Amino acid sequence: MKTVTLALSLALAGIAHADVIHLSSGKDINGTVSGYANMTFEITVEGTGDMRQSAAAIKSIEFTPRPAKFEVRGRGAIEGTLTSYEAGSFTVQKSDGKTEKLQSMMVSNASFGGSGKKFINFSGGGVLDLKKVIVPGKITIVDFHADWCGPCKQISPHLDKINKDDPDVVLRKVDIVKLGTPVTKQFDIKSIPRIHIYDRTGKLVGSVTGAGKDAVDTYLKAAKGAK
Question: Residue 119, Cβ neighbours under 10 Å: how many?
Answer: 20
Residues forming the active site: 149, 152
DSSP 75-98: TEEEEEEEEEEETTEEEEE-TTS-
| Residue 9 identity | S
Report which DSSP code applies to 29: E
| Inter-residue contact 33 to 52 (CB < 8 Å) | no
Q: How far apart are CA 176 and CA 194, in angstroms?
A: 10
Q: Is 224 helix (H, G, I), strand (E, B) or coil?
A: helix
SS3 content of the chain, % helix, strand, coil (to 5): 20, 45, 35
| Furthest CA-CA distance within the chain | 54
